Amino acid sequence: MITLLVAAGDGDAADTRAVLQALAEALGGVRAAVREAEGAPDDQALLALERDTASDVVAAVSWSGATKLEARVRLHVRASDRWLERGLTFAASDDLRERGRTLGFTMASMLPDRTPPPRGAPPPPAALAAPAAPAPPPARLALDLMVMGSLGVGGNADALGGAFALRRVLAPWIAVRGELLGRTGVVQAAEATALSLHLAGGVALSPLGNAATRRASLEVRTDVALLYESLGHLSPDDVDRVRRARLVPGGDLVIEGSIRVLGSAAVVLGVGAEVAFGRTDVFVHEKKVAVLPPLRLVSSLGLRHYF
């Protein structure tokens, strides 16, 4: 049995019916069925569909754009636990049903021990079909570009800045990451500008599966960090700006949600907490005027690019 996964609303489309008809002609008595999916199906969704339907083969068909000039089929053969992928490109003058039939015969040609297409069945157009190629591996790297803010709890640590982070997926549910972050703010009581630089590294856990293969994902990440915290003070009784800085170890715990907006890009929103393992008291002319607290609430918004 072959189960075909198509986009929502395409289950009864002319091209989908033509794919089923071509599979029936090419594979004889093999039964084919259609299921609709919300969003772009990933490998985990295909494997779950395979288990639920006890299918010998599951295949996801995706079209690029409303005009359906480019198609890609990714299928899994249960017996050999093998993934196969093929892409096709069509001309605008090609009939939609003929595109579906071509796609169906192409799928049949990808299967092991296949039955040849019946006499007279149109082969995939050589000039338009993409050459067979091994399926590309899922994206394992991602680059984050974020705008970040912090709010001190019990002190002055309100700041705004940005960060970039690089991550690598180790397994569908875990990734390692490194981050460089910078924020700046004002400590009014000390008449000072604050600068905070963080170099951090940690892990991101994805309970819903690999975020690189999902349209929407939720992650929990935690990092250990080295914090460089600096204050620059300038008041009417000072000739030059006075700057003091210190290094403090720290860490964070953040929940991030992401939603894919383009093929390789996602919008990411994060909220959580950051802790510095040490409180910084601020003195001006030997008088304590402010505190940089250990605990800060943090938020972030930005883009993630998978590659």
Yes or no: say if 68 and 103 are a contact pair by the CB < 8 Å rule.
Answer: no
Residue 224 makes CB contacts below 8 A (sequence gap 6+) with: 200, 201, 202, 249, 250, 251
Question: What is d(CA 102, CA 110) in angstroms, rounded to the nearest whole number?
Answer: 13
Residues 6+ apart with CB under 8 A from 183: 148, 149, 150, 159, 160, 161, 195, 196
d(CA 78, CA 173): 23
Position 294 scores a pLDDT of 94
pLDDT surpassing 50 at residue 164: yes
Question: What is the pLDDT at residue 239?
Answer: 61
Burial 206-223 (b: 16+ CB within 10 A, else e): beeebbbbbeebebebeb
Percent of the chain clearing pLDDT 90 (strictly above): 35
Higher model confidence: residue 120 or residue 49? Answer: 49
Q: Where are the domains of the chain?
A: 2-110, 141-306
Place of tokens 């992928």: 85
CATH of 2-110, one of 3.40.50.11240, 2.60.40.1840, 3.40.50.2300, 3.30.1490.100: 3.40.50.11240
DSSP per position, 68-119: T-EEEEEEEETTTTEEEEEEEE--TTS-HHHHHHHHHHHHHHHSTTPPPPPT
On the question of pLDDT at 132 being above 60, the answer is no
CA distance 196 to 182: 6
Q: Is 298 exposed, middle or buried (0-12, 13-18, 19+ CB in 10 A)?
A: buried
Average pLDDT, integer, range 157-169: 95
Model pLDDT, residue 113 = 58
Q: How confident is the model at residue 195, as a pLDDT?
A: 94
Q: Does the domain formed by 141-306 have CATH 3.30.70.930?
A: no
3-state SS, residue 189: helix
- The reported pTM is 0.56
